Amino acid sequence: MTNKSFIKISEEIKQILPSSYAHDYQIILASASPRRKDLLLQIEENIGVEAINYNENNNLVCPLGEVSLALAFSKAKQFIEQVPLLASRFILTADTIVYHTNPEIILGKPKSVIKAKEMLRYHLGKTHTVSSAFVLVDLLKKQIHYASDHCEISFFPENVRLIEIIEEYTRLKPPLGPMDKAGAYGYQEEIIRDNFIKSISGDPTTIIGFPMEKFKRVWIGLG
């Protein structure tokens, strides 16, 4: 996708915005992620959460660095199409992907414990990228604000101890553990930070799943 593509889908979303909305919340977070809600509560208390089952397009024709933003736009459009009454001025969607570039591969949420173990072992001794993006729809002004951010993470090389810790980590259940997280790990969990992470370059909240620093700039700019 190109910037023109994002502008085009922004216009498509504006065409389907309702003419009115309720004032129950300042922001509706259209995501079931507890981590995103916790991050947002740092700057805004009046948040509602309403998630839907999104049809995520895994065949996007765009660079890896733009996939998270393209998915966040897709979620915004689907949410507005499916939720009849929007209960806030702002609708917020977000997406996070984990990818390696050599070779190019996207690692989503693992579908089994076996896949989670495979993903974690694949990260060992390598550097990968986490890309997180958001789309903020302003129902009052009919405007759409968006941004994405990228962070590079290096894991320590494989050793016997890390393989044992992978076994321990994959026994944890959500919201801990790998099963509800892109790339099969949560940076915010001590077991990951203390044992696997060699270095990071970028905003840690981007790894957690929501680029807070970029969102703050947009939110403050809106007054």
Number of other CB atoms surrounding residue 100 within 10 Å: 17
- Report the length, in residues, of the chain: 223
Of 177, 129, 166, the C-alpha closest to 151 is 129
Yes or no: say if 110 and 121 are a contact pair by the CB < 8 Å rule: no
Question: Is the distance from CB of 176 to CB of 182 less than 8 angstroms?
Answer: no
Strands 127-138 and 88-101: antiparallel
Helix axes 67-82, 3-15, angle to 10 degrees: 10
Catalytically annotated residue among 24, 95, 138, 180: 95
Residue 194 annotated among the catalytic residues of the structure? no
CA distance 134 to 124: 28
Report the C-alpha gap between 192 and 179 in whole angstroms: 14
**Catalytic sites, residue numbers:** 95
